[in-house]
Every structure is written in structure tokens, then in C-alpha cells.
Amino acid sequence: MATDLTTRRFETDTDWATRIRETRAVPSEYQELKFALHRKLLERINLEALGTLPGERMRTEVRLAVARLVEEERVPLSLAEKERITEEVLNEVFGLGPLEPLLQDPTVSDILVTTPRLVYVERHGKLQRTPVEFKDDQHLMRIIEKIVARVG
């Protein structure tokens, strides 16, 4: 099943080119750590109380919670890796997961997801395969459900 995403967001303060370069197929251990952090975050935070906070404050609180979880895991990660995994968990919570860097890239005019392991973008009228991957079918379906919920 292919999912065609045409909704795009831009953030002027985001270095999208760097984020795209850093988005690559990652070892399964990294993916497992990221999803374990996401799961623990959802178990620990009070979603109702969090929902009452203004948007940026909510994101800051979740960022701090993720950073604490990363430290608790005691996995040897560099500062850059800790920041990257924190951003990726935030993308899972607030955005469209692994698609977020693509959505931030102003050169991307379309995103085509054919399977959890095959994600293409259209740039300058040409289709290009990306290194972006979803963990599995369930992960892809969660992101599709988020997209559908936003559309209404």
C-alpha cells in the first residue's frame, strides 16, 4: 500500500539538509533503543496534564523527560547521538516519525511510502529513494493514522 503525503511543514530554524544527511538506515539496536525510550516515555508522562500546557512548553517538558530516560539507559552514546535520538523520539511523539526530516526539506515536493523499508521523495520532478525506514508495518500504520487524524 502506498501513502502519498502532500502536507508539508517548514521550520526556518531547522537545518533540514543536515537532518536529511543524518537520516540513514540505522542498526536495529539503535531502533530498538529509540522505540524503548518512546514506550517508556508514554508510560511515565501524564498525557492529560501535558495536554494542558502551551505547545512549546509541552515540547520542552517532553524533551527533558526523554533526556532523563536516555541517561537512565546508560547506553554509551555521544552527545550528538543523544541529541539525535531525543529528536527522533520527539518526532515520534509530536510529528510523523521518520518522515519529519523529509517534511522539513523544502526541496521535497512529494513523499511516497511503498513499504516500511522503501520511502521515496520527489525532488525537482525526479523520484529518489531515501534512507528513511519505519521499524515495521505497525510503525508505518501508526504514522498513517496520525496523518488521517490530522486531515479529519
Give the model confidence (pLDDT) of 25-51 as tens digits.
Answer: 456 788 889 889 999 998 888 877 777
Contact 104, 10 (CB under 8 A): yes
The conformation of residue 98, written as its DSSP 8-state character, comes to: G
User: If you average pLDDT over residues 106-121, what whole number do you get?
Assistant: 97
Percent of the chain with pLDDT over 90: 51
The conformation of residue 124, written as its DSSP 8-state character, comes to: T
Q: At what angle do helices 79-94 and 55-73 cross, to 10 degrees?
A: 130
What is the rounded average pLDDT for all residues in the chain?
82
Domain coordinates of the chain in residue numbers? 3-151
Cβ atoms < 10 Å from Cβ of 94 = 15
Q: Is the pLDDT of residue 137 over 50?
A: yes
Sheet holding 126-129, edge to edge: 3-5, 108-115, 118-123, 126-129
Bridge partner list, 8 = none
Confidence bin at 131 (pLDDT 50/70/90): very high
User: If you average pLDDT over residues 140-152, what whole number do you get?
Assistant: 91
Give the model confidence (pLDDT) of 66-107 as tens digits.
Answer: 999 999 988 888 899 899 999 999 999 899 999 999 999 999
What integer pLDDT is reported at residue 117 of this predicted model?
94
Q: Is the pLDDT of residue 22 over 90?
A: no
Q: How far apart are CA 80 and CA 134, in angstroms?
A: 22
